[in-house]
């Protein structure tokens, strides 16, 4: 859009046409006070705080020419003869805006007096006090006394719960609708609304359970008063007492920038920290309210070693020595390949480096993995490494011209913040296409929803690839291996593949047209896709290759490998080496007597099912590093208590290959140690101490040794890239209370292509042309609220999803099952009975089993998709 | 001579008054139920030329010709702003369909009740007007939004719409012309703000009734985001007669800038409150005093306050009784014709109490969306309440001035702006009454203090 030049308080400003006056003023550091306006939300002009004088050139009605003053300057008139709300008034050429005049100040004082006339002024006991826009703006623009009688104020019942996480104080609410608009427009969970009118107008929750949204906490940040407060932080601390420590959320592959607000060494609250490359100014409730486990009373406090049936406390020295000796003993007797190790995907890059050093470097085993070893384990994919989004990709910058293709992915459950990021792309004019075997929340934002048969995502993508290759459609020649790809698909046709996917060929054709005409394409592949061997990720890679959607900013593949740092684990070699087994193969190998000792860090495979549990029992020696005495830890010979997120420094790599650093907020309460420190201790006991003293030494060692990480030195990660127009002193009332990023926005690693300049190779595909599977298929689907360790002590505890099975209306009808009634599923592995939920969008023959705590998935499922018999269960 | 005396003498003795009033209309344009008994009956309406204008339009005229005719007649919107209807119809963006026509029958402005009479007594003329307007703007669905409290009127209208369908005046292929139109009668839930055009649309869409941000204006993005024309009941009821008799005929009534007739709802302390249809430009005095209109003041008392265009219009005093009732003259007198609800109040009324009651209404109806209206109306009402109940303070007069000035020009929609009007009128026209209220309060406080039984005695 063309630029417009205008004058604001005597300063000449040039901004794009369509900019509103409030935003235009901010560019020249003129702060127009606002309440309802928020730069991320559509302006509504409700609160009338932003009133300013807007003078525009007068036009002679007859000649259509500007009227001139005697001195030749254009004569100005006050727009509509009154003050105008700056947030909804677009700039125009020649405009003169005055934000400091008697008239404006009278209005500003007036609106503040009005707002305070129904405000309880309970700042001394209000959680918002100290970071409250109403307080700040009253001090700056308001009257110092009120002429409104206190007894005339409206009174409501003091805070009422709006949901499990949020309280509403209707007396404090200034009815700006930011919360409602956030839920409607940004989160896409339109669960809040208004009821009644006039002064009785009030915010209500319209959903059951109330405030049913994974993003509810953000409303407390943008609420310009203390009307919305979180049950997690209420009355915990005054905000000026807390010390915000910048960390990275490790609950999922998004890697939101957050702060841990500490008072001394206690965690008071979790807040988002702005990073426009990752989470903008938001985070999800799991990240915000799911950190209380760090203060859980059941945390392990000391190392434990086994004495017969019992685990007894031991000193670190002793425990590390016992661990090292135990591992060495098995290695000496049975060889290095009798050892295996696994470390959870939310550990840091430094943890991974030391893990690899101990298990591979020192002990020499190829059996390393970061996956949990269960039926939902993802295959190691290379699509996101070869065709991954290029450096410089920022989803916040994408809109018109961008198509996002989601394949076997449910971001709301796997990586919640991507819901916001992708909805943002749609709001800016982009398109979303979802390809899944079952409904997901983002279907509601999608331009096209393609429903495939379970496990047939790959067939659908192959059909598209085949169609593009057959059609001779414009095709990128930049990828290598296209000829081999073409040959590999020879025997198959797009029609056959569409049929195999269970999708009308017309839909495939329309989808193909849509994909090839999109200038930018992001392909996001989720757990369900990634867990089907390499079929889906190879197909997705091929699609990127034939459409040219790689190697430039704004295009490429993003893989939602589960865990906060699965990308880092893969980059740092926490994957099966030469001849190495995958975690899911460990249990049989133990049963066969091939594996005899294990080191398990931050994972709890004993809960996966009977096979892994008895395998762990059968080990000669087991070392476990964990924060809690997990089912796996109970079986261990040595248990080493690990430090948790607040207690450690580290770097983490997110799904878009952004390496970000997380700072230590406190000393571990009982001397627990970070995984890398524990591992270094074991290495030392084995005589190979690498001698790092702080985590950043390891970070820099990684940068020096791993080519992809060359740019990710500890200091470069601390550079704050991006000026998002926040002016720290005002940000509270423009943007809310999310913190400004001062501690580094991280470094996006280059893709392989960018490093070596060689075009990526498309893998040949194996056409999936079999008929659509008959019988019932169960899909093991992820749930964000899975009830695992993070949920301890969380206000979200009531929202944890219990084990259940989801059936479609047709199957429910056939089987005569109602909501909550038992359903028995029987597979080749076994049989379970679970209560039923009904999802009206689910096709007959597909059932979903939620992958949550309390359900031993491996006892029923052989993989992410399992053929089952479904029957009514015994009550 | 005081107007009340003139009326007294005339109505008493039936003598010629010294005032020469125009005789009332012998044939009405809108309130034809006064000329033709049972015009609400479709047979009767038909016998008196009903739906002939619709037939003419559908068979002989293009939509553009209808728009031009209405523009030439100079018909102005009766909903309050007096905007030229034909011009409004011409604002629709070309080639943008579907379009909607909304007929505003939310009639909630205090003192206004002519729409009610139309839907109750002459519904077919409204339906015919809606159909012609719908044809003119090329839309196929029209909604008549009826104030929730008009239960009987809405039922009458629903029956009339059903009759019109049965007789082929609505529905598919009307009178064989190939033109289709559906009319839906929708009842509101009782909110003044839903008469505001965009709040009405929100309400029709099933949302909470609150005004929308403009622009976009309804002609560009109205109901369901589609181009929409909204007109008042009375506006549309004029249309069939304009089609039948032509623009020149219509313009023989009223003034050059305010052509035609207007149904004024006269209420208050007049002898004969009611709806009276008169040519624009008829002097206010005539409406008050002529015995075929207001019939003079009850009990012969003097006129004190005239609210000429519904509660949102600025007050006049008796010295303005000769103001002609048309848009321009009332604007020149510092007020507006508004909804045509004329409230005439006599000297028994306290200006402070009237301001209090009227602002109580606006406070009750404030939708709550914007700060100055939501909080400002409450503020005004609290202060006016104490002033009316013997608790006024000396500081209250400057306070009231400040409060309405903090609202004036700053509200999201005109409801809040309207709430400024009564208090501003009262303070401008009757400042002494506020001072007296405060003095009385001070005096009674002093008496109370004097009569108080001391807590400590020596
Ligand atoms: C608070 C408020 C209430 C209104 N109420 C009504 C009403 O009850 N009936 C009406 O016709 N117009 C009402 N209006 C005016 C409408 O917004 C709109 O201008 C009118 O219906 C247009 O019709 P017209 O062009 O025929 O006058 C109201 C306006 C406001 C601001
Ligand atoms: S609760 Fe807060 S954000 Fe929501 S409307 Fe009230 S003041 Fe605004
Ligand atoms: S979206 Fe993911 S990274 Fe962000 S706060 Fe939620 S769980 Fe943490
Ligand atoms: S002025 Fe404001 S609060 Fe009042 S009715 Fe209009 S939008 Fe609602
Ligand atoms: S009206 Fe502009 S900030 Fe609220």
Give the model confidence (pLDDT) of A379-407 as tens digits.
998 888 889 999 899 999 999 999 999 99
Complete edge-to-edge strand list for the sheet that includes strand B261-268:
B274-279, B261-268, B341-346, B303-307
Q: Do A48 and B208 touch (CB under 8 A)?
A: no
Backbone angles phi, psi at B126, to 5 degrees: -65, -45
Say if domain A304-376+567-717 classifies as CATH 3.40.50.740: yes
Q: Does B453 fall in a domain? A: no
pLDDT value at residue B455: 66
Decide if pLDDT at B5 tops 90.
no
Inside any domain, residue B456: no
Q: Could you give the maximum distance between any two Cα atoms of chain B, in Å? A: 100
**Residue A177 confidence (pLDDT):** 97
Q: Find the mean pLDDT for residues A803-812.
A: 98
Tell me which chain B residues have a C-beta less than 8 angstroms from the C-beta of A110: 372, 402, 405-407, 410
According to CATH, where is 3.40.50.740 located in chain A?
304-376+567-717
Residue B1: the pLDDT is 33
Q: Are B405 and B454 in contact (CB under 8 A)?
A: no
- Calculate mean pLDDT across residues A610-620: 98
Predicted pLDDT of residue B16: 46
B232 and B262 part of one domain: no
CB B281, CB B325: distance < 8 Å: yes
* pLDDT score of B80 more than 80: yes
Looking at the domain assignment, is residue B17 inside a domain?
Answer: no
Domain boundary among B306, B322, B346: B346
Question: What does each C-alpha distance from B200 to A176, A449, A630, A859, B190 come to in angstroms?
Answer: 21, 35, 60, 59, 11
The domain A149-295 is placed in CATH, from the list 3.90.70.10, 3.60.9.10, 3.30.70.20, 3.40.50.11610, at 3.30.70.20
Asked whether residue A238 carries a pLDDT value surpassing 60, the answer given is: yes
Chain A contact set for B375 (CB, 8 A): 114-115, 117-118, 199
Which two tokens mark A231?
A: 């049950």
Distance from CA of residue A334 to its chain's centroid? 43
pLDDT at position B6 is 36
pLDDT surpassing 60 at residue B205: yes
- Same structural domain, B162 and B190: yes
Q: Is the pLDDT of residue B126 over 50?
A: yes
3-state secondary structure of A272: strand
Please count the other Cβ atoms lying within 10 Å of the Cβ belonging to residue B142: 25
How many other C-beta atoms are found inside a 10 Å radius of the C-beta of residue A667?
12
SS3 A807: strand
**Mean pLDDT value across chain A:** 95
- Closest partner residue to A198 (CB to CB) among B368, B405, B406 is B368
Q: β-pairing, A96-98 with A51-57?
A: antiparallel
Pocket of ligand 3 contains residue A796 by CB under 6 Å: no
Chain A interface mutation, best of B188, B209, B369, highest count of A Cβ atoms under 10 Å = B369
Q: A339-343 and A597-601: which strand pairing?
A: parallel
pLDDT for the residue B12: 37
Predicted pLDDT of residue B82: 97
User: And the tokens for A819?
Assistant: 């909501």
Report in angstroms the alpha-carbon separations of A440 from A208, A506, A532: 18, 23, 18
B143 vs B134: CA distance, rounded Å = 10
The ligand placed nearest to the CA atom of residue A415 is 3
Q: What is the DSSP string of A408-448?
A: S--HHHH-THHHHHHHHHHHTT-EEEEEESS--GGGGG-SE
B458 falls within a domain:
no
Q: Do B94 and B234 belong to one domain?
A: yes
For B109-138, the DSSP string reads STT--HHHHHHHH-HHHHHHHHHHHHHHTT
The answer to whether residues A651 and A642 touch, using CB atoms and an 8 Å cutoff, is: no
Same domain? B42 vs B118: yes
Which tokens go with B133? 């307007």
Going from the C-alpha of B137 to that of each of A91, A426, B23, B97, B244, the distances in angstroms are 33, 34, 37, 10, 19
Q: How confident is the model at residue A475 (pLDDT cuts 50, 70, 90)?
A: low
For residue B7, name the pLDDT band (cuts at 50, 70, 90). very low
Question: CA gyration radius for chain A?
Answer: 29
Q: Are B223 and B100 in contact (CB under 8 A)?
A: yes
How large is the average pLDDT for residues A251-276?
A: 97
**Residue B14 — very low, low, confident or very high, per pLDDT cuts 50/70/90?**
very low
Where are the alpha helices (H) located in A428-582, listed in sequence order?
457-470, 482-488, 494-501, 505-516, 527-530, 535-547, 566-571
Q: What are phi and psi of A630, to 5 degrees?
A: -75, 170
Tell me if B164 sits within 8 A of B124, measured CB to CB.
Answer: yes
Query: pLDDT-based confidence at A1, cuts 50/70/90?
Result: low
Could you tell me if B378 lies within 8 Å of chain A, comparing CB atoms? yes
Contact A534, A541 (CB under 8 A): no
Assess whether the C-beta atom of B78 lies below 6 angstroms from ligand 1.
Answer: yes
Question: Does the Cβ of B323 fall within 6 Å of ligand 1?
Answer: no
Give domain status of residue B18, yes or no: no
Residues B97, B167 within the same domain: yes
A280-314 pLDDT, tens digit per residue, is 999 999 999 999 999 999 999 999 999 999 999 99
Sign of CA dihedral A705, A707, A713, A714: negative
The answer on pLDDT for A213 being more than 60 is yes
- Whether residue A339 contacts residue A649, with contact meaning beta carbons closer than 8 Å, is answered with no
Alpha-carbon distances of B213 from B222, B228, B253, rounded to whole Å: 11, 15, 37
Residue A486 CB contacts under 8 Å (≥ 6 apart), including other chains: A469
pLDDT of B420 higher than 80: yes
Range with the largest mean pLDDT of A546-550, B303-307, B386-390: B303-307
Contacts of A297 (CB under 8 A, 6+ apart): none
A5-38 pLDDT, tens digit each:
999 999 999 999 999 999 999 999 899 999 999 9
**Pick from B301, B331, B346: which residue ends a domain?**
B346
Atom of ligand 2 nearest to the CA of A174: 7
Q: Could you tell me which of A282, A18, A34 has the C-alpha nearest to residue A177?
A: A34
* Structural domain harbouring B87: 32-251
DSSP characters over A225-243: STTEEETTTTTT--GGG-E
Mutation target to probe the A interface, by most A beta carbons within 10 A, among B374, B395, B404, B411 is: B374
Q: Is residue B9 part of a domain?
A: no
pLDDT at site A772: 76
**A248 beta partners:** A257
The CATH number that applies at residue B371 is 1.20.1440.230
* Beta carbons of A175 and B368 less than 8 Å apart: yes
Which part of chain A is CATH 2.40.40.20?
776-872
Domain end residue (candidates: B223, B251, B279): B251
Q: Is residue B179 part of a domain?
A: yes
CA B74 to chain centre: 19
Distance between Cα B338 and ligand 1 center (Å): 9
B150 CB burial (10 A radius; 0-12, 13-18, 19+): buried
pLDDT band for position B15 (cuts 50, 70, 90): very low
CB contact, 8 Å: A45 with chain B?
yes
Of all helices (H) and strands (E), which one includes residue A266? strand A266-272
Domain count, chain B: 3
Summarised one tens digit per residue, pLDDT across range B386-400 is 999 999 999 999 999
Q: Which two tokens stand for residue A367?
A: 């059996």
A659 DSSP β-pair partners:
A653, A747
Q: Which residues pair with B308 in a beta bridge?
A: B310
Rounded CA gap, B315 and B301, in Å?
18
Assign A316 to helix, strand or coil.
helix
Whether residues B283 and B420 share a domain: the answer is no
Q: Please, which residues bridge with residue A341 across strands?
A: A368, A599
Q: Are both B224 and B342 inside the same structural domain?
A: no
Q: Are residues B209 and B120 in the same domain?
A: yes
pLDDT-derived band at B3, boundaries 50, 70, 90: very low
Output the pTM of the full model.
0.95
Q: Are residues B36 and B112 both part of a single domain?
A: yes
Whether a cis peptide bond, with omega within 30° of 0, leads into B299 is no
Q: Which of A862, A843, A866, A867 has its CA nearest to residue A437?
A: A843
**Residue nearest to ligand 2 atom 6, measured at CA:** A173
State the span(s) of chain A assigned CATH 3.30.70.20: 149-295
For residues A608-644, b (16+ Cβ closer than 10 Å) or e, as one string?
bbebbbebbeebbbbbbbbbbbbebbebbbbbbbbbb
CATH hierarchy code of domain A383-560: 3.40.228.10
Indicate if B320 and B278 belong to the same structural domain.
Answer: yes
Residues in chain A closer than 8 A to B365 (CB atoms): 198
* Cα-to-centroid distance, A388 and ligand 5 (Å): 42
CATH of the domain spanning A776-872: 2.40.40.20
Q: How many CA atoms lie within 13 A of A471 on its CB side?
A: 18
Residue A478's pLDDT band, with cuts at 50, 70 and 90, is confident
pLDDT of residue B13: 39
| Same-domain status, B192 and B284 | no
Structure tokens, A40: 């991320």
pLDDT of residue A525 exceeding 70, the answer is: yes
**Class of A3-100 in CATH:** alpha beta
* A20: chain B residues, CB-CB within 8 Å: none
Residues of A in contact with B412 (CB under 8 A): 45-46, 48
Residue B155 falls inside a structural domain = yes
Identify the CA nearest to A376 among candidates A421, A341, A410, A406: A410
Same-domain check for residues B232 and B124: yes
List the B100-105 sheet strands across, edge first. B182-187, B141-146, B100-105, B228-232
What confidence tier does B449 reach under pLDDT thresholds 50, 70, 90?
Answer: confident
């Amino acid at each position: 859009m063309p630029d417009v030049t205008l004058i604001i308080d005597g300063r000449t400003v040039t901004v794009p046409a369509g900019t509103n006056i409030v935003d235009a003023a901010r560019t020249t550091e003129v702060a127009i006070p606002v309440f309802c306006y928020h730069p991320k939300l559509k302006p509504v002009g409700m609160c009338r705080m932003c009133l300013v004088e807007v003078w525009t050139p007068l036009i002679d009605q007859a000649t259509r020419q500007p009227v001139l003053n005697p001195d030749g300057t254009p004569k100005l008139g006050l727009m509509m003869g009154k003050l105008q709300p700056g947030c909804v008034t677009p700039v125009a050429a020649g405009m003169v805006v005055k934000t400091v005049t008697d008239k404006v100040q009278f209005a500003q004082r007036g609106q503040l007096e009005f707002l305070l006339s129904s405000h309880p002024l309970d700042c001394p006991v209000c959680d918002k006090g100290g970071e409250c826009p109403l307080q700040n703006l009253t001090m700056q623009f308001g009257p110092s006394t009120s002429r409104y009688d206190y007894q005339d104020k409206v009174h409501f019942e003091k805070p009422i719960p709006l949901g499990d996480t949020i309280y509403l104080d209707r007396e404090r609410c200034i009815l700006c609708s930011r919360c409602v608009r956030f839920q409607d427009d940004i989160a896409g969970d339109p669960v809040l609304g208004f009821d009644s009118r006039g002064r009785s107008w009030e915010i209500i929750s319209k959903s059951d359970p109330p405030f049913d949204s994974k993003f509810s906490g953000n409303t407390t940040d943008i609420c310009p008063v203390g009307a919305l407060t979180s049950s997690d932080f209420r009355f915990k601390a005054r905000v000026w007492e807390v010390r915000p420590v910048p960390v990275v959320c490790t609950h999922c592959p998004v890697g939101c920038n957050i702060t841990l607000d500490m008072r001394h060494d206690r965690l008071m609250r979790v807040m988002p920290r702005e990073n426009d490359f990752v989470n903008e100014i938001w985070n999800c409730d799991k990240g915000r309210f799911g950190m209380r486990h760090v203060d859980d009373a059941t945390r392990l406090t000391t190392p434990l070693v086994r004495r017969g049936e019992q685990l007894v406390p031991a000193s670190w020295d002793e425990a590390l020595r016992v661990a090292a000796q135990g591992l060495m003993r098995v290695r000496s007797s049975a060889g290095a390949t009798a050892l295996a190790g696994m470390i959870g995907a939310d550990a840091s890059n430094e943890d991974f480096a030391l893990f690899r050093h101990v298990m591979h470097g020192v002990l020499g085993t190829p059996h390393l993995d970061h996956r949990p070893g269960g039926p939902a384990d993802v295959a190691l994919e290379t699509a996101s490494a070869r065709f991954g989004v290029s450096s410089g990709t920022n989803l916040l910058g994408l809109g018109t011209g961008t198509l996002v293709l989601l394949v076997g992915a449910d971001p709301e459950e796997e990586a919640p913040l991507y819901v916001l990021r992708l909805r943002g792309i749609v709001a800016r004019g982009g398109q979303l296409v979802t390809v899944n075997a079952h409904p997901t929340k983002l279907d509601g934002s999608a331009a096209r929803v393609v429903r495939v048969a379970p496990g047939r995502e790959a067939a659908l993508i192959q059909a598209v690839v085949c169609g593009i290759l057959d059609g001779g459609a414009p095709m990128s020649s930049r990828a290598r291996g296209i000829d081999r790809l073409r040959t590999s698909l020879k025997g198959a046709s797009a029609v056959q593949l569409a049929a195999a996917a269970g999708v009308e060929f017309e839909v495939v054709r329309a989808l193909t047209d849509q994909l090839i005409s999109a200038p930018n394409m992001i392909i996001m592949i989720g757990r369900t896709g990634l867990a089907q061997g390499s079929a889906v990720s190879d197909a997705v890679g091929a699609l990127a290759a034939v459409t040219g959607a790689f190697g430039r900013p704004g295009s490429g593949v993003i893989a939602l490998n589960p865990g906060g740092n699965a990308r880092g684990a893969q980059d740092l070699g926490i994957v099966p080496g030469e001849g190495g087994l995958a975690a899911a193969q460990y249990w049989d190998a133990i049963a066969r007597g091939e594996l005899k000792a294990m080191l398990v860090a931050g994972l709890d495979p004993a809960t996966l099912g009977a096979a892994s549990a008895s395998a762990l029992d059968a080990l000669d020696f087991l070392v476990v590093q964990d924060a809690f005495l997990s089912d796996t830890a109970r079986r261990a010979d040595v248990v080493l208590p690990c430090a948790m997120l607040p207690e450690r420094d580290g770097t983490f790599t997110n799904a878009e290959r952004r390496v970000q650093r997380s700072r230590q907020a406190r000393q571990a309460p009982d001397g627990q140690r970070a995984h890398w420190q524990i591992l270094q201790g074991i290495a030392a006991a084995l005589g190979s101490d690498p001698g790092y003293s702080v985590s950043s030494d390891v970070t820099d060692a990684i940068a020096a040794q791993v080519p992809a990480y060359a740019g990710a030195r500890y200091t470069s990660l601390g550079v704050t890239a991006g000026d998002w127009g926040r002016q720290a002193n005002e940000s509270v009332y423009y943007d809310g209370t999310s913190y400004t990023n001062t501690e580094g926005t991280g470094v996006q690693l280059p893709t392989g292509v960018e490093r070596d300049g060689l075009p990526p190779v498309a893998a040949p595909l194996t056409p999936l042309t079999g008929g659509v599977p008959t019988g019932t298929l169960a899909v093991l689907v992820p749930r964000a609220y899975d009830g695992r360790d993070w949920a301890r002590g969380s206000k979200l505890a009531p929202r944890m999803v219990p084990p259940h099975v989801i059936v479609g209306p047709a199957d429910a009808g056939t089987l005569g099952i109602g909501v909550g009634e038992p359903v028995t599923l029987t597979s080749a592995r076994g049989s379970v009975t679970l209560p039923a939920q009904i999802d009206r969008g689910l096709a007959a023959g597909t059932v979903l089993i939620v992958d949550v705590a309390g359900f031993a998935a491996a006892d029923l499922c052989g993989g992410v998709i399992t053929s089952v018999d479904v029957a009514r269960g015994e009550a | 001579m005081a107007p009340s005396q003139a009326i007294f003498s005339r109505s008493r003795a039936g003598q010629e008054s010294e005032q020469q009033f125009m005789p009332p209309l012998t044939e009405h344009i809108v309130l034809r139920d006064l000329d033709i008994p049972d015009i609400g009956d479709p047979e009767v309406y038909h016998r008196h030329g009903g739906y002939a204008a619709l037939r003419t339009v559908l068979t002989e005229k293009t939509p553009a010709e209808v728009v031009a005719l209405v523009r030439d007649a100079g018909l102005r919107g009766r909903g309050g702003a007096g905007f030229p209807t034909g011009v409004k119809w011409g604002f629709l963006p070309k080639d943008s369909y579907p379009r909607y026509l909304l007929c505003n029958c939310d009639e909630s402005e205090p003192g206004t009740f002519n729409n009610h009479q139309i839907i109750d007594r002459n519904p077919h003329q409204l339906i015919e007007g809606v159909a012609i307007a719908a044809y003119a703007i090329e839309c196929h669905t029209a909604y008549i939004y009826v104030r929730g409290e008009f239960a009987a009127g809405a039922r009458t209208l629903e029956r009339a719409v059903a009759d019109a369908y049965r007789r082929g005046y609505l529905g598919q292929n009307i009178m064989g012309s190939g033109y289709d139109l559906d009319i839906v009668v929708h009842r509101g839930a009782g909110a003044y703000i839903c008469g505001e055009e965009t709040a009405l649309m929100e309400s029709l869409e099933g949302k909470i009734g609150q005004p929308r941000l403009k622009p976009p204006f309804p002609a560009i993005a109205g109901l369901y985001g589609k181009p929409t024309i909204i007109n008042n009941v009375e506006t549309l009821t004029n249309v069939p007669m304009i089609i039948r008799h032509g623009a020149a005929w219509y313009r023989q009534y009223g003034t050059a800038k305010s052509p035609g007739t207007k149904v004024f709802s006269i209420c208050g302390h007049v002898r004969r409150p009611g709806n009276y249809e008169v040519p624009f430009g008829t002097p206010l005095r005539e409406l008050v005093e002529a015995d075929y209109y207001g019939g003079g003041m009850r009990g012969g008392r003097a006129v004190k306050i005239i609210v000429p265009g519904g509660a949102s219009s600025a007050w006049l005093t008796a010295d303005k009784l000769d103001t002609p009732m048309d848009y321009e003259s009332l604007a020149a007198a510092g007020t507006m014709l508004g909804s045509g609800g004329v409230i005439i109040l006599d000297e028994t009324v306290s200006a402070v109490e009237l301001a209090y009651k009227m602002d109580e209404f606006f406070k009750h109806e404030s939708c709550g969306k914007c700060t100055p209206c939501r909080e400002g109306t409450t503020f005004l009402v609290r202060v006016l309440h104490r002033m009316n109940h013997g608790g006024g303070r000396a500081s209250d007069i400057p306070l009231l001035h400040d409060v309405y000035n903090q609202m004036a020009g700053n509200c999201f929609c005109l409801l809040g702006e309207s709430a400024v009007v009564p208090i501003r009128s009262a303070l401008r026209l009757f400042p002494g009454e506020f001072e007296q209220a405060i003095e009385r309060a001070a005096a009674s406080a002093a008496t109370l203090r004097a009569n108080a039984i001391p807590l400590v005695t020596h």
